[in-house]
Amino acid sequence: MEPSPMNSLQNHHITLLGTGLIGRFYCQALHSRRSRDRVHVVFGVPAESAADFSRAFGIPKWTTDMAEAVRDPETDTVIVGLPNDLHEQAVRLAADAGKAVLCTKPLGRSAAEARSMLEAVEKAGVFAGYLEDLCYTPKTLKAAASIRAGAVGRVLWARSRETHGGPHSAWFWDVQRAGGGAIVDLGCHCIEVIRTFIGKHVRPVEVMAVSDTLVHPIEAEDSGIGLIRFENRAIGQFEVAWTFRGGLDIRDEVAGTGGTIWLNHFLRTGFEMFTATGLGGYVAEKADTEKGWIFPSGDELTELGYADMFADMLDAMENGRPPLETFFDGYVVNAVMDACYRSAASRQWEPVDLFEWRQGTGPGSGPESAAAAQEPPAAPQEDGCVLIKSERMPDGTVKRILRNPSTGEIFQKIG
Ligand SMILES: NC(=O)c1ccc[n+]([C@@H]2O[C@H](COP(=O)([O-])OP(=O)(O)OC[C@H]3O[C@@H](n4cnc5c(N)ncnc54)[C@H](O)[C@@H]3O)[C@@H](O)[C@H]2O)c1
């Protein structure tokens, strides 16, 4: 069933599930940029956490009963900011109540869980969005638009890295509750950023990953590296760790036939402060130190993508279009991560198993751009030979490396 568009310029009445780190960021973002949308019920545990949260953000109702929060008659939209093992239950409650639902990352702890959530919202015909904020940072949006406009040519390689010293709550460290370690927690961001740059219409085909538990006394992996091969032969590469010292390191890199993009999202982005006394508390998410050289964030809600993410989600809901990040995207990310875990165990390339493939509806996902992404451009010719490379040398001459297509000979000309 298709979700029905809501009236335009609706004031959304939101139930927020979760009063932890992400609940706080989400609430601040919702109450700032689009202040007509309000969280009016919050669910959290323990009770003091929910009560304190409701007081801090001027939220009229709080509860420790998730179903009651979801079914609140005034609520039209449910936002899930709960530990990973509660996402499915929360999404099902919202779908059963006929409410729009926006779920944080990772969508599920596995592709099977994500698929059942996707099927639940589609069966109920409710609007659903995948809250992958790092696809909405202003830099990422601009980089993706530049790629779609052809600024870097054909994308060959996209790299995304997220590392920090480890998560802030007990449940993240419990592999049953979280579904995995650093790959599930941070790899999900990287994989979706990589898909955004390579093109969400390009199917991820297979994966090679390594993972290890290098530092922390836990069952789950605290570090991982993955390679994702896409159907157009572009390669995605992610690097994740809960072992990094120095703060929250989020960097991306895109290499194309016609250009390169380097993005640094959080540390050393042009705001560097030395303080002998400190700021009196919080500096920025996962900052490793509060004194000395520190790297604050000018506007963390915007720089990490939360502001643009909610604007897209709520605008999409009102305009009857899909958001940039859908539950299907969340499902694909889970399927890639499942393949990573299989590969880390088998030490082989493992296929990305998807129950179906959807081209996606975001920018650059039309059939013509899919074709363009897969077609290598014709190599330039010179006197019947193929030009491989041309470079100006230190003596001022230009050296051209050519290949004779009939003999295969590779030779150079200087001029
Ligand atoms: N950038 C991002 O998008 C981002 C960042 C951080 C966390 N997250 C995601 O948000 C979700 C919540 O993470 P968080 O960092 O807010 O976690 P957290 O531990 O800080 O908060 C979780 C909240 O869930 C509620 N809760 C309900 N039942 C609970 C239970 N049985 N055990 C523990 N908490 C329970 C509590 O109110 C608690 O405050 C996770 O899925 C996580 O992956 C996303």
Q: What is the pLDDT of residues 280-308, one digit of tens each?
A: 899 999 999 999 999 999 999 999 999 99
Q: Are residues 145 and 69 in the same domain?
A: no
Report pLDDT for 376: 64
Burial track 363-396 (b if 16+ CB lie within 10 A, e otherwise): bbbeeebbeebeeeeeeeeeeebeeeeeeeeeee
Nearest CA to ligand 1 atom 4: 22
Q: Which of 21, 176, 304, 306 to mutate to test the pocket of ligand 1 (most atoms within 8 A of CB)?
A: 21
d(CA 401, CA 394): 16
Report pLDDT for 370. Answer: 47
Peptide bond connecting 380 to the previous residue in cis, omega within 30 degrees of 0: no
Q: Which of 10, 348, 92, 39 is nearest to 208 (CA)?
A: 348
Mutate which of 17, 19, 22 for ligand 1? The one with the most ligand atoms within 8 Å of its CB, which is: 22
* Ligand 1 mean position, distance from CA 236 (Å): 28
Percent residues over pLDDT 70 in the chain: 93
Both 122 and 256 in one domain: the answer is: no
Using only the alpha carbons of the chain, give its radius of gyration.
23
- Domain with 400 in it: 381-414
The number of the ligand 1 atom at minimal distance from the alpha carbon of 86 is 28
**Rounded distance between C-alpha atoms, residue 149 and residue 266, angstroms:** 26
Q: How far is the CA of 104 from the centre of ligand 1 (A)?
A: 9
* pLDDT at residue 379, as a whole number: 82
The Cα diameter of the chain in Å comes to: 78
5 Cβ contact partners less than 8 Å away, ≥ 6 residues apart? 317, 318, 319, 320
117 and 158: one domain?
no
State which of 82, 183, 282 you would mutate to test the pocket of ligand 1, scoring each by most atoms of that ligand within 8 A of its C-beta. Answer: 82
pLDDT at residue 377 above 90? no
C-alpha of residue 131 to centroid of ligand 1, in Å:
13
Q: How far apart are the CA of 21 and the centre of ligand 1, in A?
A: 6
Domain stops at, among 116, 133, 150: 133
Q: Are residues 122 and 141 in the same domain?
A: no
CA-to-CA dists, residue 100 to 70, 73, 132, 191, angstroms: 10, 13, 17, 25
| Centroid of ligand 1 to alpha carbon of 258 (angstroms) | 41
| 239 and 169 fall within a common domain | yes
Residues 54 and 75 in one domain: yes
278 and 199 in one domain? yes
**Distance from the alpha carbon of residue 298 to the mean position of ligand 1, in angstroms:** 24
Last residue of a domain, one of 80, 104, 133: 133
Q: Residue 66 Cα, ligand 1 centroid: separation in angstroms? A: 14
Indicate whether 374 belongs to any domain. Answer: no
What is the pLDDT at residue 32? 87
Q: How far is the CA of 87 from the centre of ligand 1 (A)?
A: 10
Give the pLDDT confidence score for residue 7 in this predicted structure: 46
d(CA 401, CA 397): 13
Over the stretch 16-56, which tens digit does the pLDDT of each residue have?
999 999 999 999 999 986 568 999 999 999 999 999 999 99
- Which DSSP category does 166 fall into? -
Which residues line ligand 1 at a C-beta cut-off of 6 Å? 18-23, 44-45, 49, 81-84, 86, 104-105, 133, 169, 171
In this structure, the answer to whether residues 239 and 176 fall within a common structural domain is yes
Does 54 share its domain with 108?
yes
- Same domain assignment for residues 201 and 234: yes
pTM above 0.75, yes or no: yes
Of 100, 133, 166, the last residue of a domain is 133
Work out which ligand 1 atom sits closest to the CA atom of 185: 43
What mean pLDDT is reported for the chain?
Answer: 93
| Pair (121, 142) in one structural domain | no
Give the atom of ligand 1 at the shortest distance from the alpha carbon of 84: 41
**Strand 77-80 versus strand 13-17 pairing type:** parallel
Concatenating the DSSP letter of every residue in 230-260 gives ETTS-EEEEEEES--SSS-EEEEEEEETTEE
All residues at 6 or more sequence positions from 245 whose CB lies less than 8 Å from its CB, including other chains = 165, 288
Question: How far, in Å, CA of 186 to CA of 115, rounded?
Answer: 20
Q: What mean pLDDT is predicted for residues 181-187?
A: 98
Half-sphere exposure for 199 (CA within 13 Å, toward CB): 30
